[in-house]
């Protein structure tokens, strides 16, 4: 008859496995964080893929790409249009309007956290 209870021989196997893990950890030694220069990144949103539609089974995808600080380009199939940058904040969805599906960022110059 089979049971789900551990057999008596599994306890020594478990203890052996634990001992091997401890031995390997002792061999490797302590793990230290890498030295860093205390800098953080700043990122800029430069592209968005939106979904327009009420369900995942239907709808339409559109690409939005930042042209400069004031304008974005909207790629809707074969149509490309220029829009004001402020309109990007409207991509929150609702009903049949566009909702940001994938946001693309690029790294800008690093900033130091130290004064």
pLDDT (tens digit, 9 = 90+) per residue, 42-68?
889 999 999 988 887 888 999 999 999
Predicted local confidence at residue 33, as pLDDT? 59
Q: Three-state SS for 1?
A: coil
Structure tokens at 72: 């974005």
pLDDT bin (cut points 50, 70, 90) of residue 115 is very low
Where is pLDDT greater, at 106 or 12? Answer: 106
- Which whole number is the average pLDDT over 28-36? 66
Integer angstrom CA distances of residue 71 from 63, 65, 66, 67, 103: 14, 9, 6, 6, 17
**Sole residue written with tokens 């004031």:** 70
| Mean pLDDT value across the chain | 81
pLDDT in tens, 68-94: 999 999 999 999 999 999 999 888 877
CA-based nearest residue to 61, from 73, 44, 46, 74: 74
Structure tokens at 113: 């956290």
Structure tokens at 60: 């339409």
At residue 38, does pLDDT exceed 70? Answer: no
pTM, to two decimals: 0.59
Asked if 64 contacts 73 with a C-beta cutoff of 8 angstroms, the reply is yes
- Which whole number is the average pLDDT over 92-113? 80
Predicted local confidence at residue 19, as pLDDT? 84
């Amino acid at each position: 008859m089979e049971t789900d209870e551990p057999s008596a021989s599994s306890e020594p196997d478990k203890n052996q496995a634990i001992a091997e893990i401890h031995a390997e950890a002792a061999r490797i030694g302590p793990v230290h964080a890498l030295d860093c220069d205390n800098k953080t990144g700043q990122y800029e949103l430069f592209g968005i893929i939106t979904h327009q539609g009420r369900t995942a089974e239907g709808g339409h995808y559109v690409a939005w790409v930042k042209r400069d600080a004031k304008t974005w380009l909207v790629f809707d199939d074969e149509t490309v249009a220029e829009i004001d940058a402020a309109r990007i904040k409207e991509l929150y969805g609702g009903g049949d309007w566009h909702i940001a599906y994938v946001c693309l960022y690029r790294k800008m110059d690093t900033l130091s956290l130290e004064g």
